[in-house]
Amino acid sequence: MILPIVGYGHSVLRVKTKDIDETYPNLKQLIEDMFETMYKANGIGLAAPQINLPISVLVIDADPLKENYPEGEGFKKAMINPEILELYGEDESFEEGCLSLPGINENVVRKNKVRVRYFDEDFNEYEQELFGIQARIFQHEFDHLNGKVFTDRLSNIKRAFLKKKLNDIANNKVRPAYKMVK
């Protein structure tokens, strides 16, 4: 089922999400719906707050970017209760966008390597090193679980330039091709 995506300005994008456990109802269906919603909107990552659920769940599929980022090939994951164990490597700048902030694309500096711990949809625990586009998308989605969006990471000047665009999204004046709610 395709779910509506929450736009910038909605309070759910500003909460710290809660971890879930095996008793969370219909988790597999939820994850399937998150992938379907993400694909429909041509996204490569989606975090649960973006579908109005303040829980620590995110999905990523970097495969569409494999031509330019070979490490993205086959990198399709649902991550439950993810944690960052270590951020390392180099600072890298990369142009990000977000389904909750349609029409905004800006360079964001992040580390290009991250060691993470997470559970899959069967609650198997993993520890894994992500790099390049994997690390990039993960960090963007992980921010969502901490009430952050990528424009929070821009300079004050950059954000001032974006103020009108952000307000337009918050005021429901931007209509992306996918279903968005305020």
Q: Which residues are catalytic?
A: 141
Our finding on whether 57 is near Ni ion (CB under 5 A) is no
Given a contact cutoff of 8 angstroms between Cβ atoms, the answer to whether 181 and 21 are in contact is no
CB nearest Ni ion: which residue?
98
> Residue 98 or residue 116: which is nearer to Ni ion going by CB?
98
Q: What's at 14, amino acid-wise?
A: R
Residues 17-56 that bind Ni ion (CB under 5 A): none
- Give the nearer residue to Ni ion in terms of CB position, either 127 or 142: 142
Q: What is the DSSP string of 102-131?
A: TT--EEEEEEEEEEEEEE-TT--EEEEEEE
Q: How many residues bind Ni ion (CB under 5 A)?
A: 1
Q: How far is the CB of 100 from Ni ion (least distance, A)?
A: 6
Site for Ni ion in 92-131 (CB under 5 A): 98
What is the DSSP code string of 29-66?
HHHHHHHHHHHHTT-SEEEGGGGT--BSEEEEE-GGGT
Residue closer to Ni ion by CB (options 69, 150) is 150
> What token pair was written down for 27?
């988790």
Contact positions toward Ni ion, by CB under 5 A?
98
